[in-house]
Amino acid sequence: HATTMRLQCGGLAGLAQALDADTAADVHGLVVAAQARYGALSDLPWPGIVAAVAAWQGRRRREVRP
């Protein structure tokens, strides 16, 4: 689950960063804007997006108390 979250959330953060967007809340809007700017999703600046995926950290687990 953590790997999936890292890929999804980090990927959206990287895509938003590549598009200079304020937020990654509107996923459809980001994808449409990326296609408009780069033409095809294969032409995205993947090194920056992959770096954002690698850097993304989820919430820390809460400590379970007995």
Q: What is the pLDDT of residue 25?
A: 79
b/e per residue 17-48 (b: at least 16 CB within 10 A): ebbebeebeeeeebeebbeeeeeeeeebeeee
Q: What is the pLDDT of residue 41?
A: 87
Give this prediction's pTM: 0.78
- Per-residue pLDDT tens listing for the chain (66 residues): 888 989 999 999 999 999 988 877 789 999 999 999 999 989 999 999 999 999 988 877 778 877
Q: What is the pLDDT of residue 31?
A: 92
Q: What is the pLDDT of residue 24?
A: 74
